[in-house]
Structure 1
Amino acid sequence: MPPTLGLLLAAAAAVLLLLLPPPPSAGAQETCWSGPAPRRGAWMSVASFGARGDGQTLNTGAFARAVARIARRRGARGGTLLYVPPGVWLTGPFNLTSHMTLFLARGAIVRATQDTSSWPLIDPLPSYGRGRELPGGRYMSLIHGHGLQDVFITGENGTIDGQGGVWWDMWKKRTLPFTRPHLLELMYSTDVVVSNLVFQDSPFWNIHPVYCSNVVIANLTVLAPHDSPNTDGIDLDSSSNVCVEDCYISAGDDLISIKSGWDEYGVAFGRPSSGITVRRITGSGPFAGFAVGSETSGGVEDVVAEHLSFSGVGVGVHVKTNSGRGGFIRNVTVSQVTLDGARYGLRIAGDVGGHPGASYNASLLPVIDGVAVRNVWGRNVRQAGLIRGIRDSVFSNICLSNVKLYGIGSDSIGPWRCRAVSGSALDVQPSPCAELASTSGTGFCT
C-alpha cells in the first residue's frame, strides 16, 4: 500500500471518530517531539553503495556497507544521515549503528525480501527465554539495532514494508521453524526517535523497543490487515522513559501494548517498563486498542495513556496477565478515551496468555495495584467490562470515574462482571459491579 493511501486511511478514521462526542479538552497540546531530526555532520545516500530502487535488486549488502561506513565515522561531528531516495528498495534484514539517522524520502519504500531463508536467526530475548512463538532462536527484525545511542529513524512519510503475507501463511499452516521477525526492533538502546513514517504488513510485531530508554515514537501510520496474526502495532518492552504520540494504527492484534518479559524469565531478568506516556492515538483492530500485557513479569509501572480514539476493536482498554507471570502492574492511568464499536469497553483479567513451557511455576502470581480509567465515552459496545482477578493474589485499587458506555443501537449493553478485585467507581454507566460500587477510596483511588 503506498504511503499516500495509508495517510488517507488515517485521515478518514480521524474524521469518523470526530463524529463522536470528544472527551473533555486537556488544554494546550503537549508533545514529546515536534522538530526535525538533528542536523548531522555528514550525509550519504544508500544509492552510493550500489543500491538500486527498482523493486527487484536485493540491496541487503548495500545497506550493510552504508551502515558500516557510518560506524567507522563515529567520531564525525554530529553523526551521519543515511538517505533513502524515492524508489522501492528491496532488502533483507540489516543493522543500524549509533549516531545515525535513517531518512526515507517521500516516495521511498524499504521493502523486505520474501525469501525467508535469507533472514538470519538471533538469540531469544533473555526476558523471554525462547522465541515468543516457538522454542529456540528467532528471526532478526528487518531493521535492527543493539546497544545503540542517538538514533533517528524518520523521513517524509516514506514506507517500511514487511511483505508479511509469506510469514502469515507459514503461521497459519504451522510450518514456521522459528519465531517470526519484527519490522523494527531496537535492543539495549537509548536516545531514539522513530517518526514520520509508514510501517506496513509486518511479519510479526511492527515496532519493538526492548531494554531501551529515552525513546520517542511519533507521527506514524502503522497498517496491517485485521486478519494478519500477531501484527501488534507498537510493543514497548522492558523499557523506560518512553513517549508514543500522534499515531494511527490499524493492525491484526493489539494496537499498543506494554510488556516486560515472560514468566520466570521475565522475573529473573527483572527489568520493568516504566515512565511511559501514550497519547493521541487513533486506530482499529480485532484485539485491544491499548493494552498492558500479557507478558508483564518484569513489572509495569508509572504509565499514562490519554486521548485515545478507537473504532471496531475487541477491547478498548485491556490489562492482562496470568498465573505464572509474577511481576506487578501499578500506577497506570488511562483517560480521555472514545470508543465506537468494541466487544468490551474495559477488560482487566488474570487468565490471559500462554506460557513458555509446560513446567511454568503457577505459584508466581502477579499483583495489580492501581489502575485508574477515567473519562471514557463509548457506543456500540457489547459488554461494559470484565474485571477478574486471581484467587490468592491482589487486584486492588481498580478505579473507574466518568465512564459512560452504551450498547449497539437500541440494544442494552452487557453489564460489568467482576471477581476477586477491589476498588471504587464514580459516575459509571451502566452501573458498576458491587466490588467497585463504592464512590470513595484510599490511596491511588482518591
Structure 2
Amino acid sequence: MNNTRNLKVAIVASILQLTGFQSFSQLQSPSWPINVLPIVEKPVFKADTFNIVKYGAINDGLTLNTKSINAAIEACSANGGGVVLVPAGLWSTGPVELKSNVNLHLKSDAVLSFSRDKSQYKLIEANWEGLAAVRNQPPISGTGLENVAITGKGIVDGNGDSWRMVKREKLTANQWEKLISSGGALDQSGKIWYPSASSLKGSQTNNAGAIAPGKTAKDYEDIKDFLRPNLLVLTKTKNILLEGVTFQNSPAWNVHPIMCENIIINNIVVRNPWYGQNGDGLDLESCKNVVVENSVFDVGDDAICIKSGRDEEGRKRGIPTENVLVKNCTVYHGHGGFVVGSEMSGGAKNLFITDCTFIGTDIGLRFKTTRGRGGVVEKVYIKNITMKDIPGEAVLFDMYYGAKSPVFINDGGAKMPKEAIVPVNEGTPQFKDIHVNNLVCDGAARGIFVRGLPEMNIQNIHLENITIQANNGIQIQDAKRIHFRNVNLIVKNTQPVVDIMNSSGLTFDGLKYNEGAELIFDVKGERSTNITLRNAELKSAKSIADFKYGATKKALKTQ
C-alpha cells in the first residue's frame, strides 16, 4: 500500500515540475487534464564506456570513421549497453546505426560531421513526409530499439548543403553567383540550383522516390541525389533521450522519431539555414508519451511539428501522436513555431504546449490540413506563449493547406463565390477542442486566422487572455463554436477588426480594439449566425457591424 502511495506522489510531483503548476488542484483545471499529461522516465545506461578512438577512429576531419564508430556501438550493445564516447575533435563519418541500451555521448567540442560523399548512403525503404518511399539512409538511425540516447555538448552536423536545392530568391546576388560557380545544375528557369544532375532529374520526376510494385532500390539510382535523408531517424523505438546536443545542417528534416514511445528531448539546439528546403526542426510522427523542453530551434521550415502520416497510408497506419508536452522552448526562424500537420492523417491528441517563445517565425501557432488527409486533431492545450515579429499569422487554423478557398479570394462582386461542399468521408480532416490561454504577440501580419471546410467546420476553439499587435485582426471562415475571451487587438487595419464568413456560434467576451476603430465586425454569408458580443466598449467604434452576402443583422447579438 505504501509503495502504491509513494508512486502516486512521485507521479504528481513529476507533473507539477513539468507543467509549472504549484498544486494538485491547479492540475484539475479542464485546461490541463491530469490524466493525460505524459509521464516519461529517462532511460538508464550502464557506466561502461566505449571510446571510439579505441576502435580506430581518427580525429583529423579527413578519415572516414564509419566503421570505427559503428564497431564501438556494436560492442557496447553486445556488452549489455553503456556509453559510446565521441571525444572532442572533428570526426568525419558515414551513416551511424544506433543499437539498444547505447548512449552515444558527444563531449564538448566534439563534432560528428557526416560525409558529403553520397555514395556512403545506401538507398533504403523509408518514409518521406508521411508516405513510404525510397530514400538515402539517414546519417543517424535506429529501428526497433529500446533505451537509446544521444547526449553531451557536442554537435551533429549533416552537411545538408551538399544535398539541398536552393532557390535564387533566398540568396543575395553574390551568394547566388558563388553557389552556381561551385558546380551543380540549374533548372530550366534558372531560378533553382541543384547540387548535381541526378538531383535535378529527381526534381523533374513525378512522385520521385515513391515505392512502386516490382521496383527495387536500384531502380532509383539515377535520382539518388534527390532522395535526401532526414538527419536523425528513430523508428518503432522505446525509451529515447536526446539531451544537450546540437543537431544541425540536415539534408531534409532534422530530428524525426516515427512510431516511437517514451521520448525525452531536453536542452538541445536544432539549427538549419533559413533557406533550407524541408529543413524542419523536430517532427514527432505517430509518437506517444513525449516531453520536449528547454530547447532552441532556428530552422528552414516548421520548427516543432506534430505529424502522424499522410492521407490513406497514414489512416491505415492509424497511430496518432499523443500525450506530448512542449515546455520552455524558443523558436527563431521557422515556417511555424509550434505546428500540427499537414501530414496528420493518423490524428493527434493530448498535446500540451506551455511557456514558449517564438521570435521571427513565419507563423506562430500553425495548424494545417486539407481535404483527403483525414485524421482528427483534438484536445490541444496551449498557454503562456510569447511572440515577436511574426511575418504571417500569430495563430492559424487552416484546412485549405496547399489549396485556395473560393471565398477569401472574392473580388468584391455582388455575389459571394460558392464553396464546393463535398461529402464527408474518411478523408475529411477535423480540428476541434483546442484551447489557447495567455498569449502575447508584438507584431504580426494578422492576429488570428481560422478557416475550416464548409462540410467540416473547425469547432470548439477557445482563445482566452490574448493581446496581439498586428496589421490585421481576426479572420474566420467556416467555423463554429469559437470562443474569444479577453482578446485585445491593436491593429492597423480596423476595417474590419473581425472578418467573419459563414460561421456560427461565435462568442466574443471582453473584446478590446483600437479606439476609433472603423468597423468591429464584417459579417458575410447566410451561414453566419448566432454571433454574440458581450462586455465590450462599443462607443469608441465608428460602426459596430456590416452584413452582406446573405448575412443579416439577426446574426449578431450584443450583451
The bucket for the TM-score relative to the shorter chain is: 0.7 to 0.9
What is the match of residue 372 of structure 2? 324
What is the match of residue 89 of structure 1? 91
Letter in 1 for 2:48: A
1:260-409 → structure 2 map (5 Å cutoff) = 260-342=308-390, 343-353=392-402, 363=425, 364-407=427-470
Following the alignment from structure 2 to structure 1, what is the Cα–Cα distance between the partners of residues 383 and 137?
36
1:15-414 → structure 2 map (5 Å cutoff) = 26=20, 38=44, 40-74=46-80, 79-125=81-127, 128-131=130-133, 137-155=134-152, 157-169=153-165, 172-173=193-194, 175=200, 176=202, 177=223, 178-342=226-390, 343-353=392-402, 363=425, 364-407=427-470, 413-414=471-472
Letter in 2 for 1:121: L
Q: 2:38·2:290 contact (CA, 8 Å) conserved in 1?
A: no
* 1:353-402 Cα deviation digits (max 9, x unpaired): 59xxxxxx995110111111111101121111211001212421011111
- SS of 1:265's equivalent in the other structure is helix
CA 1:37–1:329 in 2, change beyond 3 Å: closer, same or farther? closer
Shift of 1:69: 1.5
Shift of 1:184: 1.0
Following the alignment from structure 1 to structure 2, what is the Cα–Cα distance between the partners of residues 93 and 219?
24
Q: 2:63·2:92 contact (CA, 8 Å) conserved in 1?
A: yes
Shift of 1:39: 5.2
Give the gaps of 5 or more residues in structure 2.
1-18, 28-36, 166-183, 185-191, 203-222, 404-422, 490-496, 511-529, 531-559
Following the alignment from structure 2 to structure 1, what is the Cα–Cα distance between the partners of residues 130 and 99?
25
Shift of 1:429: 2.4
Following the alignment from structure 1 to structure 2, what is the Cα–Cα distance between the partners of residues 384 and 126?
32
Shift of 1:26: 4.7
Shift of 1:305: 0.5
Following the alignment from structure 2 to structure 1, what is the Cα–Cα distance between the partners of residues 283 and 44?
26
TM-score, normalised by the number of residues in structure 2: 0.67
Following the alignment from structure 2 to structure 1, what is the Cα–Cα distance between the partners of residues 399 and 365?
14
What is the match of residue 20 of structure 1? none
Following the alignment from structure 1 to structure 2, what is the Cα–Cα distance between the partners of residues 362 and 86?
57
Letter in 1 for 2:61: G
Q: 2:43·2:239 contact (CA, 8 Å) conserved in 1?
A: no
TM-score, normalised by the number of residues in structure 1: 0.83
Following the alignment from structure 2 to structure 1, what is the Cα–Cα distance between the partners of residues 395 and 129?
28
Q: 1:32·1:216 contact (CA, 8 Å) conserved in 2?
A: no
Matched, 1:426 2:485: yes
Following the alignment from structure 2 to structure 1, what is the Cα–Cα distance between the partners of residues 258 and 43?
22
Letter in 2 for 1:389: G
- SS of 1:123's equivalent in the other structure is strand
Following the alignment from structure 2 to structure 1, what is the Cα–Cα distance between the partners of residues 284 and 43?
22
* 1:37-72 Cα deviation digits (max 9, x unpaired): 745142111111111111110011112212222232
Identity of aligned residues (%): 30
Following the alignment from structure 1 to structure 2, what is the Cα–Cα distance between the partners of residues 188 and 419?
39
Following the alignment from structure 1 to structure 2, what is the Cα–Cα distance between the partners of residues 353 and 70?
46
Q: Relative contact order, CA 8 A, sep 6+: which one is greater? A: 1
2:507 aligned to 414, 421, 437, which one? 437
Following the alignment from structure 1 to structure 2, what is the Cα–Cα distance between the partners of residues 345 and 105?
38
Shift of 1:340: 0.7
Matched, 1:416 2:474: yes
| 61-70 vs 428-437, which moves further | 428-437
Letter in 1 for 2:243: S
Letter in 2 for 1:111: S
CA 1:66–1:26 in 2, change beyond 3 Å: closer, same or farther? closer
Following the alignment from structure 1 to structure 2, what is the Cα–Cα distance between the partners of residues 311 and 129?
31
Following the alignment from structure 2 to structure 1, what is the Cα–Cα distance between the partners of residues 322 and 86?
34
- SS of 2:363's equivalent in the other structure is strand
Count of aligned pairs: 396
Following the alignment from structure 1 to structure 2, what is the Cα–Cα distance between the partners of residues 85 and 162?
18
- SS of 2:339's equivalent in the other structure is strand
What is the match of residue 3 of structure 1? none
Q: 1:324·1:362 contact (CA, 8 Å) conserved in 2?
A: no
Following the alignment from structure 1 to structure 2, what is the Cα–Cα distance between the partners of residues 271 and 32?
17
- SS of 1:406's equivalent in the other structure is strand
Q: 1:126·1:269 contact (CA, 8 Å) conserved in 2?
A: no
Cα RMSD between the aligned structures?
Answer: 2.7
Shift of 1:179: 3.0
Shift of 1:125: 3.2
Letter in 1 for 2:149: F
Q: 1:127·1:268 contact (CA, 8 Å) conserved in 2?
A: no
* 1:218-274 Cα deviation digits (max 9, x unpaired): 101111111111111111000000010000110101110000001000000101000
| 308-317 vs 62-71, which moves further | 62-71
| 35-44 vs 419-428, which moves further | 35-44
Following the alignment from structure 1 to structure 2, what is the Cα–Cα distance between the partners of residues 344 and 36?
36
Q: 1:258·1:292 contact (CA, 8 Å) conserved in 2?
A: yes
Letter in 2 for 1:392: E
Give the gaps of 5 or more residues in structure 1.
1-24, 132-136, 355-360, 408-412, 442-446
What is the match of residue 17 of structure 1? none
